[in-house]
Amino acid sequence: MPRYKLIIEYDGTGYYGWQDQRNGRSVQEAIEGAVTAFSGETRRVQAAGRTDSGVHATHQVVHVDLEREWPHGTIRDAMNAYLKGQGAAVLNVRPVADSFDARFSARKRHYVYRIVNRRPPVVLEKHRAWHVKWPINPALMQAGADQLIGQHDFTTFRAAECQAASPVKTLERLEIVANGEDIRVYASARSFLHHQVRSMVGSLILVATGKWTPKELRDALDACDRSRCGPMAPPDGLYLIGVDYEGADAAL
């Protein structure tokens, strides 16, 4: 039974997150529907990351097993025909070894959080970025971000419903890139806790707007107490932008 690796892009605005659930349409449901539409098979697909409701992806990775081999372009084009108008698209398809697992073979995940920092309302970027009206100091924001880089107990930035076995994670990158009113927060780690990126960004905004000092952010981290977290950033600005694999699994 051949296994395929798919690169998926989607607008999370109209979805209740990646994972199948009862209260609304998920990205997983849309992708699995596309697989059934072209192959006639009912298959589960496994993703590298379970994005929340309203969160987007430019490079989600999934794998799926099919009964027979298909031309890569046929899988891509047939699935995209089904997905037309649904806010999701298959960018690339290739066969992989049976040992490849989109989730468990991943070595690093990359996210970006987008912020539009201006007083006037956001129109074109609505549902694509967080509109922050108050002036942001990028240098202060980076000073706060520096307090979070490395291996820590991230309980403060962990959702109550998080199912991770341990709150200890190693944050390899948390970088603020500002270009005028466009501010982006890049985060990279092998894995993240549920709501970790959005929780960190919400607290970083408190530092960036002068409500917290970088030390107060570090104190909140060290407290390992969810009640010490700042307000969580909305899902609109968060994007899964890459997943790293090793060896043959790394090829697109």
Distance CA 192, CA 169 (A): 7
Which entry of 11, 20, 52, 219 is annotated as an active-site residue? Answer: 52
Q: Look up residue 248 and give its DSSP letter.
A: G
Alpha carbon distances (Å) from 152 to 77, 79, 135, 192: 43, 41, 29, 12
Q: Look up residue 234 and give its DSSP letter.
A: P
Distance CA 88, CA 185 (A): 24
Distance CA 50, CA 27 (A): 10
Helix axes 214-223, 196-208, angle to 10 degrees: 150
Q: Answer yes or no: 52 catalytic.
A: yes
Distance CA 201, CA 98 (A): 37
CA 161, 17, 93: angle at the middle one, nearest 5?
A: 125
Q: Look up residue 52 and give its DSSP letter.
A: P
Catalytic positions are: 52
